Amino acid sequence: MICPVCKQSELREVPETSPLNATYKCLNCGTQVMVAKADDADDKKEFKAVFVRQADGSMQEIQFNE
């Protein structure tokens, strides 16, 4: 998965802190991307929302295709 902000680097997964989302960090620009997983009972890891942490600390939802 390429960083949606700088488009220069692969995102690296941060060790999972919640079963409801996955967090990734760009090694180039430091952008944090949080992906909310769908509520599927069989846990297909389908995503329903993607958020990017902005420089001011706020989260912005984005459209993102792997």
Mean pLDDT of 3-30: 85
pLDDT tens for 46-59 read 555 677 776 677 77
Q: Which residues contact 37 (CB under 8 A, 6 or more apart)?
A: 19, 20, 21, 22, 43, 45, 46, 47, 48
Mean pLDDT of the chain: 75
Mean pLDDT of 34-55: 64
Please determine, for residue 43, whether its predicted confidence score (pLDDT) is greater than 80: no
What gap in Å lies between CA 48 and CA 56, rounded to an integer? 24
Mean pLDDT of 5-11: 89
Mean pLDDT of 31-58: 68
What pLDDT is stored for residue 46 in this prediction?
54
